[in-house]
């Protein structure tokens, strides 16, 4: 559907960058992208660099950046091209809608970030361990992030995906299982 | 381990100078889009 957006708005010159937030790397994101040919790039944010820079904890997100590289709009969580209001916002942005109005709209979508002072440290240390192959120790640290930041779904879902890959990567994502996990306080 | 205090990017701030790897192996940075309006869409397979 983003491909359709890009094609519809080709004359505006708007650019799209698709970012897969997947700590386990490009191999996980690839099947989702290969299904449709796209004329925009898809990158993989394996170390949650965008999440840390913007302090967002939920996806899907929209971030609009202007020609000078200034951020003009953000919506963290629930931003989808299939939603009329999000599609409209993206189209208006492509067509050159005034930045001030978008900034006001962004304030209504204020990001919730990692408030607990140790959360970021646990997260970063977990990432180092994960890269070293010390997966269980990494997960233990990431669970500490979830303990102090229970609404951080990026980290929670990464832990689930690492511990239960069969629920995420073998076909359809098992959302019923995810709901069970939440009910169990996992 | 000391944590660097880093500032959070908000609307009105310059976009962070982040470069990520595309599925075809290319390195793509947010800076590469200067001169155009950009929509960044973050999602996940989970």
Tell me the ipTM for this assembly.
Answer: 0.89
Average pLDDT, chain A: 82
Burial class (CB in 10 A: 0-12, 13-18, 19+), A142: buried
Substitution target from A6, A29, A39, A50 for chain B, most B beta carbons within 10 A: A50
Q: What is the pLDDT of residue A107?
A: 52
8 Å CB contact of B42 and A81: no
Considering only A7-16, A126-135, B19-28, which range has the smallest mean pLDDT? Answer: A126-135
Percentage of residues of chain B with pLDDT beyond 90: 57
pTM, two decimals, is 0.68
8 Å CB contact of B42 and A60: yes
8 Å CB contact of B44 and A2: no
pLDDT, tens only, A132-167 = 888 899 899 989 988 888 877 777 877 877 787 776
| Residue A1, C-beta contacts closer than 8 angstroms, at least 6 positions apart | A81, A82
| Helix, strand, coil % in chain A, rounded to nearest 5 | 50, 10, 40
Distance CA A74, CA B16 (A): 14
Nearest to A69 among B10, B21, B31 (CB): B31
Q: What is the pLDDT of residue B1?
A: 43
What CA–CA distances, in Å, run from A116 to A43, A149, A150, A152, B17? Answer: 29, 7, 11, 11, 25
pLDDT, tens only, A170-179 = 556 677 788 8
């Amino acid at each position: 559907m983003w491909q359709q957006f890009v094609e519809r708005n080709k004359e505006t010159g708007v650019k799209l960058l698709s970012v897969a937030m997947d700590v386990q790397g490009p191999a996980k994101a690839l099947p989702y992208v290969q299904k449709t040919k796209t004329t925009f790039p898809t990158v993989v944010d394996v170390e949650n660099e965008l999440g840390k820079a913007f302090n967002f904890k939920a996806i899907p997100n929209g971030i609009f950046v202007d020609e000078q590289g200034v951020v003009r709009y953000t919506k963290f969580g629930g931003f989808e091209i299939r939603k009329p209001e999000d599609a409209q916002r993206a189209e208006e942005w492509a067509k050159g809608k005034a930045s001030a109005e978008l900034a006001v709209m962004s304030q209504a979508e204020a990001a919730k970030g990692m408030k607990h002072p140790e959360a970021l440290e646990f997260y970063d240390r977990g990432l180092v361990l994960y890269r070293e192959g010390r997966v269980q120790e990494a997960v233990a640290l990431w669970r500490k992030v979830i303990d102090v930041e229970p609404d951080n779904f990026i980290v929670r879902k990464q832990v689930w995906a690492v511990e239960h890959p069969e629920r995420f990567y073998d076909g359809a994502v098992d959302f019923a299982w995810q709901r069970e996990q939440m009910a169990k306080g996992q | 381990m000391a944590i660097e205090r880093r500032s959070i990017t908000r609307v009105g701030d310059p976009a962070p100078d982040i470069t990520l790897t595309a599925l075809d192996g290319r390195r793509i940075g947010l800076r590469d889009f200067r001169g155009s309006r950009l929509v960044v869409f973050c999602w996940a397979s989970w």
